[in-house]
Amino acid sequence: MSRDMRRKSSSRAPLMICLMGPTGAGKTDLAVRLVSRLPVEIVSVDSAMVYRGMDIGTGKPERIVLTEAPHRLIDIRAPHETYSAAEFCRDARREIDDILGRGGIPLLVGGTGLYFRALRQGLSRLPPANRAVRVHLASQAAAAGWGALHRRLAEIDPRAAARIHPNDPQRIQRALEVYELTGRPMSQQLEVAGPEPFTTPARVVILSPGRRSSLHGHIECRFNRMLERGLVEEVAGLRDRPEIDRDLPSMRAVGYRQVWDYLEGRVDHATMRERSLAATRQLARRQLTWLRAEPEAVWVDAEDPAVLSKLLNHLDEVG
């Protein structure tokens, strides 16, 4: 199989492989196994793995794994810095072009659906993040609750409010921020065309367990391992840095906010763990909703013992 794929890759039109799936599905493990079988190079599509020092809670591959299967676009920002979908598109295009230019196949791996969609379908021109506006909105949320801000969003931008869950503070804040900065609803601005979509053909593969209960079990085991590996200590180290606060985009990553609250004494350890698991399950549900809208995607069962061989056969058939 690998010889066939290598032979074809030298003569066919350039392509890339997009390996998507909900958190906890095992995307990284499968991608690493693909590296040993195909002429692929991994490009991370993960909005949390971009941050240095956030290794355990993001599920970042360990150093020995990265030696065997290097990941591009991880550890490229400090935790107090921002990273946008537009910046990802710029960086990903550069890495993809470099891989294709050397005869390889880009293997894009991750669970950040916005990044995948922005790269492949283009991105509307929205204003960059504004820290002052975000701090102002966060202070309002602290006083009145995110539900109140969601109700304000419903008055300003009903279409955005309809698709943003009242318990999704990051997206509520972003929609209100865009309105504060431009005076126009974000849903209206999303209709304006942005940068041209990336035209390299893509084989889209979605990895997910066939049963929701299995995914929840994987999520729980994964988070328990994170705690055993030192997630609390990792967040404590970040919290001790004067340039990092709990309202930064990096600290909104699932698990980090919950552990931060535990370190500040707002919740006990058991509550922190349960809230982290609940937030991760909610993230997985949102990701699956997003993934079901992916056109022409091939779904593979993460629990199938033959998942690697079946995926290789599929790629060989379409290659």
The 10s digit of each residue's pLDDT in 109-148 is 999 998 998 898 877 677 888 888 999 999 999 999 999 9
Give the model's pLDDT for residue 130. 87
At 157-172, the pLDDT tens digits run 998 999 898 888 988 9
Low-confidence winner among 173-187, 225-239, 255-269 (lowest mean pLDDT): 173-187
| Residue burial 34-58, b: 16+ Cβ < 10 Å; e: rest | bbebbbbbbbbbbbbbbbeebbbbb
Q: What is the pLDDT of residue 4?
A: 52
Which pLDDT does position 1 carry in this prediction?
Answer: 42
Please give the share of the chain, as a percent, with pLDDT higher than 90.
68
| Per-chain mean pLDDT for the chain | 90
Task: Name the pTM for this structure.
Answer: 0.79
Task: Please state, for a pLDDT cut of 70, what percent of the chain lies above it.
Answer: 92
Q: How confident is the model at residue 196 (pLDDT cuts 50, 70, 90)?
A: low
Work out the average pLDDT over 189-199. Answer: 65
pLDDT value, residue 273: 98
pLDDT-derived band at 10 (thresholds 50, 70, 90) equals very low
* Amino acid of residue 212: R
The pLDDT value given to residue 314:
84
pLDDT of 194 above 70:
no
Tokens, residue 263: 């370190």
Per-residue pLDDT band for 261 (boundaries 50, 70, 90) equals very high
The C-alpha atoms of residue 151 and residue 164 are separated, in whole angstroms, by 11
Rounded to whole angstroms, the Cα distance separating 315 from 319 reads 6
Asked if 83 contacts 75 with a C-beta cutoff of 8 angstroms, the reply is no
Q: Is the pLDDT of residue 35 over 60?
A: yes
pLDDT of res. 59 = 96
Backbone conformation region of residue 148, classed left if phi is above 0, alpha if psi is from -120 to 50, else beta: alpha
Residue 25, exposed/middle/buried by CB under 10 A (0-12, 13-18, 19+)? buried
Give CA–CA dist 149/136, Å, rounded: 12
